[in-house]
Chains A and B, each alone.
Chain A
Amino acid sequence: MIEYLIKGPLWYFSLAVFCIGVLWQMARIVFAKGKTDLSVARGSASSGAIRNVFSRFVPHREIAAQIRLQVVAGYMFHLGLFALLFFAAPHVHFLEKHLLGFGWTPMPHWAFIVAAQFAFFGLILLWLRRMLNSVSRLISTTDDHITAILTFVVMLTGCLALGKGFHALNLLHFFTVELLMVYFPFSCLMHAFTFIPSRAFTGAWFGRRGIDA
Chain B
Amino acid sequence: MSERLEKGLNMLRQEMDKKVMSFFSSCVRCGVCAEACLFYTETRDPRYTPIYKTEPMRKLWNSEYSFWGRLASKLGISKPMTEADLADWEELVYDGCSMCGRCSMVCPLGVDISMVIFKVKHALAVAGFSPEGLVGAVQRAVDIGSPMGITMKAVLATIKHAEENTGLKIPMDVEGADYLALLSSNEIALYPEYLEALARIFDHAGVSWTLSSEAYEATNAGLQIGNKATAGQLVQRVVDGAEKLKAKNVISPECGHAYTALRWEGPNFIGKAYPFRVVHILELLDELQANGSLKTTGLESDRLTFHDPCSIVRRGGIQAQPRNLLQPIAQNFVEMKDHGSMNWCCGGGGGVSSNERAEELKHTVFNRKKSQIEELEVDAVVTACSNCRMVMEEGIEINEMDIPLLGLTELIAEHLAEKSN
Q: In the bound complex, do residue A35 and residue B26 qualify as a contact, i.e. CB atoms below 8 Å apart?
A: no
CB of B112 within 8 A of CB of A202, answer yes
B257-316 contacts to A, CB under 8 A, are 263-268, 271-274, 277, 314-316
Residues of A within 8 A of B154 (CB): none
- Chain A 165-213 residues near chain B, CB threshold 8 A: 185-186, 188, 190-191, 194-195, 197-203, 205, 209-213
Among B100-159, those with CB < 8 Å from A are 104-112, 115
Q: Does A7 contact B (CB under 8 A)?
A: no
Point out the residues of chain B lying under 8 angstroms from A42, CB to CB: 317
Please, how many angstroms separate the alpha-carbon atoms of A35 and B20 in the complex? 12
Contact of B264 among A33, A52, A197, A209 (CB under 8 A): A209
CB-defined A-B contacts under 8 Å, sample of 7: A34-B18, A59-B106, A134-B46, A136-B29, A188-B25, A195-B26, A210-B317
Q: Are B17 and A195 in contact (CB under 8 A)?
A: no
Q: Which of these binds chain B: A8-16, A61-69, A97-105, A113-121?
A: A61-69
The interface bits of chain A over 115-136 (1 if a CB of B lies within 8 angstroms of the residue's CB, else 0) are 0000000000000001001111
**Which residues of chain B have C-beta atoms less than 8 A from A32's C-beta?**
16-18, 21
Which of B36, B110, B319 touches A202 (beta carbons < 8 Å)? B110
Q: How far is the CB of B260 from chain A (nearest CB, A)?
A: 10
| Interface bits B13-50 vs A (CB < 8 Å: 1, else 0) | 00011110111011111111011100010000011010
* C-alpha gap A43/B317 in the complex (Å): 9
Asked if A56 contacts B107 (CB within 8 A), the reply is: yes
**Residue A143 at the chain B interface, CB threshold 8 Å:** yes
User: Smallest CB–CB gap between B77 and chain A, Å?
Assistant: 13
Evaluate contact between A40 and B22: CB separation under 8 angstroms: no
Ranked nearest first, the 7 interchain pairs of A and B with the lowest CB-CB distance are: A199-B110, A210-B317, A38-B267, A186-B67, A32-B18, A66-B35, A198-B26
Q: How far is the CB of A201 from chain B (nearest CB, A)?
A: 5
The interface size bin for chain A is 35 or more
What residues on A are CB-neighbors of B319 within 8 Å?
211-212
Q: Which residues of B contact A96 (CB under 8 A)?
A: none
A63: chain B residues within 8 A (beta carbon)? 32, 35-36, 106
Contact check, A39 vs B266: say whether CB atoms are below 8 A apart. yes
Q: Do residues A138 and B47 form an inter-chain contact, with CB atoms below 8 A?
A: yes
A133 x B25 contact (CB < 8 A): no
Whether A30 and B18, one on each chain, are in contact in the complex, defined by CB atoms closer than 8 angstroms, is yes
A74 CA to B30 CA in the complex, in Å? 10
- Interfacial chain A residues near B111, Cβ < 8 Å: 198, 202
Separation in Å of the A50 CB from the closest CB of chain B? 12
A33 contacts B17, CB within 8 Å?
yes
In the complex with contacts A29-B18, A62-B342, A202-B110, A70-B32 CB distance below 8 A: yes
- Closest Cβ of chain A to B49, distance in Å, is 5
Partner of B316, one of A30, A188, A194, A211: A211
- Closest residue of chain B to A138, judged by CB? B46
A33 to B21, CA, bound (A): 10
- Chain A interface (Cβ within 8 Å of chain B)? 25, 28-35, 37-40, 42-43, 52-53, 56-57, 59-60, 62-63, 66-67, 70, 74, 130, 133-141, 143-144, 185-186, 188, 190-191, 194-195, 197-203, 205, 209-213
Contacts of B377 in A (CB 8 A): none
Q: Say whether, besides A34-B19, A42-B317, A201-B19, A195 and B109 are in contact (CB < 8 Å).
A: yes
Question: Which of chain A's residues have a CB closer than 8 A to the CB of B264?
Answer: 39, 209
Bound state CA distance, A63 and B338, in angstroms? 10
Complex contact B106–A39 (CB within 8 A) = no
For B49, the chain A residues whose CB sits under 8 A away are: 135, 138-139
Q: A191 touching B17 by the CB < 8 A rule?
A: no
Q: Specify which of A40, A43, A190, A203 is in contact with B110 (CB 8 Å cutoff).
A: A203
Give min CB distance, B343 to chain A, whole Å: 9
For residue B225, CB closer than 8 A to chain A, the reply is no
Are B27 and A191 interface neighbours, CB within 8 A? yes
Within the complex, which residue of A38, A194, A195, A209 is in contact with B273, where a contact is CB–CB below 8 Å? A38
When the two chains form the complex, which single residue of B17, B25, B29, B267 contacts A25, counting CB atoms closer than 8 Å? B25
**Cβ–Cβ < 8 Å partners of A25 in chain B:** 25
Beyond A38-B273, A197-B18, 5 extra complex contacts between A and B, CB < 8 Å: A32-B18, A59-B108, A67-B32, A139-B51, A205-B112
- The reply to whether B272 and A56 form a contact with Cβ atoms under 8 Å apart is no
In the bound complex, what is the Cα–Cα distance between A25 and B40 (angstroms)? 33
A62–B343 alpha-carbon span in the complex (Å): 9
Known: A62-B342, A211-B317. A138 touches B30 (CB 8 A): no
User: Could you say which residues of chain B place their CB within 8 Å of the CB of A74?
Assistant: 30, 108
Question: A55 vs B109: C-alpha distance in the bound complex, in angstroms?
Answer: 11
Contacts of B34 in A (CB 8 A): 135
Indicate if the CB atoms of B30 and A198 lie closer than 8 Å.
no
Q: Mark B314-335, 1 if CB is under 8 A from A, else 0.
A: 1111010000000000000000
CB closest residue in chain B, given A136? B31
B109, A135: Cβ atoms closer than 8 Å? no
Verify if B210 is at the interface (C-beta below 8 Å from A): no
Q: How far is the CA of A138 from the CA of B67 in the complex (A)?
A: 23
Contacts of A136 in B (CB 8 A): 29-31
- Whole-angstrom distance from the CB of B56 to the nearest CB of chain A? 14
**A201-B112 in contact (CB<8A):** yes
- The answer to the question of B340 belonging to the interface, with a C-beta cut-off of 8 Å to chain A, is yes
Residues of chain B within 8 A (CB-CB) of A31 are 18
> Are A213 and B17 neighbours in the complex by a CB distance under 8 Å?
no
Specify which of B264, B273, B341 lies most central, judged by the most chain A CB atoms within 10 Å of its CB: B264
